[in-house]
Amino acid sequence: MASSPVLCIVGARPNFMKIAPIVRAFEQHNPPIPYRLIHTGQHYDVRMSEQLFADLGIPAPHLNLEVHSGSHAQQTAAVMARIEPVIDESQPSCILVVGDVNSTLACALVASKKGVPVVHVEAGLRSYDRAMPEEINRVLTDAISDVLFTTEASALPNLQREGIAEDKVIFVGNVMIDSVLQNREHALAPQATLAAHGVADAASLAQGRYALATLHRPSNVDEEQPLRQVFDILCDTAQKLPVIFPAHPRTHKKLESFGWLTSLQENHVHLLPPVGYLEILGLMQHATVVLTDSGGLQEETTALGVPCLTVRENTERPITIEQGTNVLVGRDRSLIAQHIAEILSHGGKRGRIPALWDGRAAERIADHLWRTLYAERAA
Ligand code: UD1
């Protein structure tokens, strides 16, 4: 009965921690839900892709489309052209896309025009900032999705405002947090991560207080002036406590092109290459504060109860502010310095765990898809 598979798509780093619990839930479902895992190859460095597959226990993809980097148009178009024959050949029951990266939109668009139902995991998040490429991807993917699984309460009114029928929207919780809860006990100790990446004084650094920084949004790193502000913020922070900074390839290339890599290190910012999932989880768990512009880290710090300063003017994940440990600080140097001082003296913002961030979101997704795609059709 259930022979046509769910075509699961991943492309970029933040997709991997979302798909891992989903494919596991498909395998553990009784009966198992058939699926094919397709990697678009948007991220291709070992550290941005293979390492995360290994850390998260994701089975090797059935196929890698190997699109790699390019302009948004080139990358999106390449994914579209290469996914089309895969959809034709797999005859899937539906296509399942996660998050908001270019691969998400590209695959949803092709499937939708072929009449293949689109399932969007992490639907309805809105920053209301159309300068973010991800916001365009979110709005467009949701507009053509048939099933919209949401992570937080803000998503439903966002979707309703765009005319999306409420009966397509299902609040299941957060698969990203499924991954945190499944893996937190296996997280690597910060000392091991720092030593593995050749950071001098790894032992003493890891035992004391430290800030963990991750920054890669185009608005923060692509142009000289905002990147200079980010540089100053990292150096200010490093005067108060050591800063550990695993840099995304985009950020690394920009820092290098402006000639700022060495001075960052001279200012006691410990630069690391992109780290694995079990490494970042360990670094996050033990951090005194996290400085980030990542959507994922905003949620993960809320789940772990670690103070998070988000270097952005807005967030599509407002629950991390309303209930979690997150604070929006933009690139405001003095505001960030004030928050760091407060965190060092009083521990910073305390939050609570949002509804359904309980480690079982993927199970709810599997149950729903089984009922609606397979069991009800066979009945
Ligand atoms: C993408 C997502 C973003 C997500 C981020 C996480 C979109 C629009 N953006 O941004 O939402 O937060 O992934 O990492 O889909 N590069 C490498 N090796 C890689 C991948 C990228 O060197 O494996 C470099 C390339 O120079 C590339 C640049 O990083 O041009 C940007 O990569 P791209 O996939 O276009 O976007 P991200 O910034 O990674």
Asked, for residue 351, whether it belongs to a domain, the answer is no
The answer on 301 and 214 residing in a single domain is: yes
How high is the pLDDT of residue 203?
82
Q: Determine how many CB atoms are found less than 10 A away from the CB of residue 64.
A: 16
How high is the pLDDT of residue 377?
64
Whether the CB of 101 sits within 6 Å of ligand 1: yes
Query: Are the C-beta atoms of residues 312 and 128 closer than 8 Å to each other?
Result: no
Asked, for residue 90, whether it belongs to a domain, the answer is yes
DSSP string for 41-59: -SS-SGGGTHHHHHHHTPP
How high is the pLDDT of residue 379?
59
Distance between Cα 348 and ligand 1 center (Å): 31
The answer on 117 and 195 residing in a single domain is: no
The answer on 168 and 113 residing in a single domain is: yes
The answer on 300 and 151 residing in a single domain is: no
pLDDT in tens, 17-44: 999 999 999 999 999 999 999 999 999 9
Asked, for residue 266, whether it belongs to a domain, the answer is yes
How high is the pLDDT of residue 1?
42
Intervals of the chain under pLDDT 70? 1-2, 376-379
Asked, for residue 1, whether it belongs to a domain, the answer is no
Q: What is the spatial distance between Cα 29 and Cα 25, in angstroms, rounded to a whole number?
A: 6
The answer on 244 and 158 residing in a single domain is: no
Where do the H-state alpha helices sit in 13-154? 13-28, 50-56, 72-90, 102-113, 133-143
Query: Which of 43, 219, 297 to mutate to test ligand 1, by most ligand atoms within 8 A of the CB atom?
Result: 43
The answer on 168 and 193 residing in a single domain is: no
How high is the pLDDT of residue 378?
63
Asked, for residue 182, whether it belongs to a domain, the answer is no
The answer on 328 and 363 residing in a single domain is: no
Asked, for residue 320, whether it belongs to a domain, the answer is yes
pLDDT in tens, 165-203: 999 999 999 999 999 999 999 999 999 999 999 998 888
Given the residues 29, 43, 216, 248, the one annotated as active site: 216
Number of domains into which the chain is organized: 2
Residue 141: CATH number of its domain? 3.40.50.2000
Asked, for residue 84, whether it belongs to a domain, the answer is yes
Where do the H-state alpha helices sit in the chain? 13-28, 50-56, 72-90, 102-113, 133-143, 155-161, 175-183, 190-196, 202-207, 218-221, 224-238, 249-257, 261-266, 277-285, 295-304, 319-322, 333-346, 361-369, 376-378
The answer on 328 and 204 residing in a single domain is: yes
How high is the pLDDT of residue 3?
82
Which structure tokens are listed for 37?
A: 């895992």
Distance between Cα 71 and ligand 1 center (Å): 10
Q: Is 216 a catalytic residue?
A: yes
For 125, 148, 156, 317, the CA distances from 153, given in Å and listed in that order, are 10, 13, 6, 10
Which helix (H) or strand (E) segment is 310 a member of? strand 308-310
How high is the pLDDT of residue 207?
82
The answer on 372 and 289 residing in a single domain is: no
The answer on 289 and 369 residing in a single domain is: no
Distance between Cα 130 and ligand 1 center (Å): 18
Query: Whose C-alpha lies nearest to ligand 1, atom 35?
Result: 69
How high is the pLDDT of residue 14?
98
Domain assignment of residue 212, given as a range? 189-346
Distance between Cα 377 and ligand 1 center (Å): 39
The answer on 193 and 155 residing in a single domain is: no
The answer on 26 and 164 residing in a single domain is: yes
Q: What is the spatial distance between Cα 319 and Cα 353, in angstroms, rounded to a whole number?
A: 10
Asked, for residue 48, whether it belongs to a domain, the answer is yes
